[in-house]
């Protein structure tokens, strides 16, 4: 009897391991193109507002990032439970665990710089874009392979933003809003194209 129980436990462990491997290698479909595109529009809108009002407070961008993360995360949970069903929790955990360390790093860098070294805040747009590129690379195994172009864009945008931020009078609002707006629209376009391919494949 003990031997049979050990075999049963071993079989359950093997099944759980296989499910984990499947979740890690499957494409996550929880990201909604429309919501991602909306976050890009919000970034551009905030940049336009800051430029028009001559407002340069980067804490507002931390708040916007938190709002966008909540929007994307909530929609991802809803879509994952609909599309991935029994695999939803594992797919969500795998994807979020790959991206969350980068997101946490961005939050820590932003808050520490703004509170303790605000004179260097002009570097934050480029640093955040660089971390965004790293984050996209981190979740590439769970996303359409074309998403590498979004990661490349964020790296290029980061290089440009960091270069321009060293100049006096650099437009911080636009260095934040334009790269993140375009980057999120690229992500949304790739997700939309991938979703069309998936629906055609199912048809």
Asked whether residue 184 is domain-assigned, the answer is: yes
User: pLDDT tens-digit profile of 28-43?
Assistant: 888 999 999 999 999 9
**How many domains is the chain partitioned into structurally?**
1
Asked whether residue 20 is domain-assigned, the answer is: no
Asked whether residue 135 is domain-assigned, the answer is: yes
Supply the Cα-derived Rg of the chain in whole angstroms.
20
pLDDT surpassing 50 at residue 202 = no
The answer, as to whether pTM is greater than 0.85, is: no
Instruction: Please report the pLDDT score of residue 170 as a whole number.
Output: 78
Asked whether residue 140 is domain-assigned, the answer is: yes
Asked whether residue 108 is domain-assigned, the answer is: yes
User: pLDDT tens-digit profile of 139-185?
Assistant: 998 899 999 999 999 999 999 999 998 787 778 999 999 999 999 99
Angle at CA of residue 198, ends 195 and 200, nearest 5°: 110
Cα dihedral 124, 129, 130, 132 in deg (nearest 10): 120
Higher pLDDT, residue 8 or 80: 80
Coil vs helix vs strand at 75 = helix
Confidence of residue 116 (pLDDT cuts 50, 70, 90): very high
Asked whether residue 201 is domain-assigned, the answer is: no
Asked whether residue 19 is domain-assigned, the answer is: no
User: Tell me, what DSSP letter sits at residue 167?
Assistant: S
Asked whether residue 16 is domain-assigned, the answer is: no
Task: Give the residue numbers spanning the domain of 153.
Answer: 31-195
């Amino acid at each position: 009897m003990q031997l049979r129980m050990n075999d049963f436990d071993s079989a359950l462990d093997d099944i759980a391991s296989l499910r984990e491997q499947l979740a890690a290698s499957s494409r996550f479909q929880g990201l909604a193109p429309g919501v991602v595109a909306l976050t890009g529009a919000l970034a551009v809108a905030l940049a336009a507002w800051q430029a028009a009002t001559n407002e340069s407070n980067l804490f507002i961008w931390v708040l916007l990032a938190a709002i966008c993360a909540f929007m994307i995360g909530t929609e991802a949970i809803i879509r994952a439970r609909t599309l991935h069903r029994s695999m939803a929790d594992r797919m969500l955990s795998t994807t979020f665990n790959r991206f969350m360390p980068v997101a946490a790093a961005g939050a820590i860098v932003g808050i520490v710089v703004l509170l303790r070294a605000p004179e260097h805040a002009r570097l934050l747009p480029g640093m955040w874009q660089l971390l965004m590129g790293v984050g996209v690379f981190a979740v590439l195994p769970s996303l359409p392979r074309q998403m590498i172009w979004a990661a490349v864009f964020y790296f290029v945008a980061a290089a440009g933003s960091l270069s321009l931020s060293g100049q006096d009078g650099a437009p911080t609002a636009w260095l934040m809003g334009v790269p993140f707006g375009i980057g999120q629209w690229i992500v949304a376009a790739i997700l939309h194209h991938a979703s069309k391919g998936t629906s055609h494949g199912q048809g």
